Amino acid sequence: MVWAGAILTLTFLFVALIPFVGPVVVILTPLPVLYYCTRLGRLRGLMVLAVSYLAAFGILSLSGQRANLPVLFMIGFAGVLLFEVLKRHRSVEKTFLLASAALFCCGAGFVLYHSFLAGIAPWQTVEFYVAGIVRENIKLYAQLNISEEQVRLIRESAPQITHLFTAIFPALALSGAVFTVWVNLLAGRLLFRIHGVAFPDFGDLAAWKAPERLVWILIAAGGMVFVPMEGVTIVGMNLLIICGLIYLFQGLAIAAFFFRQKRVPMIFRWLFYGLLLIQQYMLIIVIAFGLFDMWVDFRKRIGGIGNVPA
């Protein structure tokens, strides 16, 4: 338990103290919590989490460092949520739905709590948060090798950018929750396998397909975007983002199936996934593969028809 507490404490400190790297590692922070809750049991795992959180808080306070403690608490709690959901051995769809919805609701609870303390509406809290991110990005662009004209245009468009991202914030937050669950489940499956710890069998994830009825929601959402009513347009944009995320996962399943069938070296697989993070147009291509798979069935064309459900 001492070793587990030390690792979790160092993880929290790493996220809080190291700029740029911390926000990236924060996505994987629930993983050690999930692992130790599984190895030690619920009660002992929660005890280790609480002690680690208090230790990190004490170290940060003594060193005069500021940290977003609610965020650290939420990502630690996300590991507990994953542990509780995985214990129930649901299907991969239900596991994702339950864990992502719980994490999203937890985040929504923090927004409501801060709104209550500030005495403002939750939507204004989100807008204030988004505006802060936009300002920080403008400062970053000004420091990079970007022309002053482009920076000026971005600065002038800041209100419109803030309004747009505030409008689609629910879908972005839910997508973030789903992405966090996805990354931790994949990493957790590998970690548990290495250490010989049982992990739920979700079957062949490379054969996963989105429900065919989802395409009608996508079409409806696309039509709502063009309705000349702001409320309807906002709902349509949020639905489009969520549908796009689901088809992205189907596209990634196709890519994983292709890599496995063609025995693509691991270095090229990681290069592909790395490009997805830095090249947005590749995301659109993968989403398109996921969407059109309903009609084309790429995995049957790639090979291994017997491995893909009809």
Q: Does the residue 310 lie in any domain?
A: no
97 and 69 belong to one structural domain: yes
Q: Does the residue 147 lie in any domain?
A: no
254 and 186 belong to one structural domain: no
Give per-residue pLDDT as tens, 42-68: 888 888 888 888 887 788 777 766 656
171 and 236 belong to one structural domain: no
Q: Which residue range is the domain that position 237 belongs to?
A: 204-305
The position carrying tokens 């490009």 is 275
pLDDT at 42: 82
225 and 166 belong to one structural domain: no
pLDDT at 12: 77
> pLDDT truncated to tens, each residue of the chain (310 aa)?
677 778 877 777 777 666 555 556 677 788 888 888 888 888 888 888 888 888 877 887 777 666 566 667 777 788 888 888 888 888 888 888 888 888 888 888 888 888 888 888 888 888 888 888 888 877 777 777 777 777 788 888 888 888 888 999 999 999 988 988 888 888 888 888 888 888 888 888 888 899 889 999 999 999 999 998 988 999 999 999 999 999 999 999 999 999 988 888 989 988 988 888 777 788 899 999 999 998 988 888 887 544 444 3
Phi-psi region of 198 (alpha: psi -120 to 50; beta: other; left: phi over 0): beta
pLDDT at 157: 87
Q: For the chain, how are helix, strand and coil distributed in percent, rounded to 5?
A: 80, 0, 20
Q: Does the residue 151 lie in any domain?
A: no
55 and 79 belong to one structural domain: yes
86 and 211 belong to one structural domain: no
230 and 287 belong to one structural domain: yes
196 and 294 belong to one structural domain: no
194 and 214 belong to one structural domain: no
Q: What is the CATH number of the domain that holds 63?
A: 1.10.1760
pLDDT at 290: 92
pLDDT at 96: 87
Last residue of a domain, one of 167, 186, 203: 203
253 and 163 belong to one structural domain: no
Tokens at 96, concatenated: 């994702």
Tokens at 231, concatenated: 């409320």
Distance separating alpha carbons of residues 253 and 255, to the nearest angstrom: 5
Measured in whole angstroms, the distance separating CA 50 from the mean position of its chain's CA atoms is: 24
Distance separating alpha carbons of residues 177 and 210, to the nearest angstrom: 18
pTM: 0.82
Q: Does the residue 141 lie in any domain?
A: no
Domain count, the chain: 2
250 and 172 belong to one structural domain: no
40 and 167 belong to one structural domain: yes
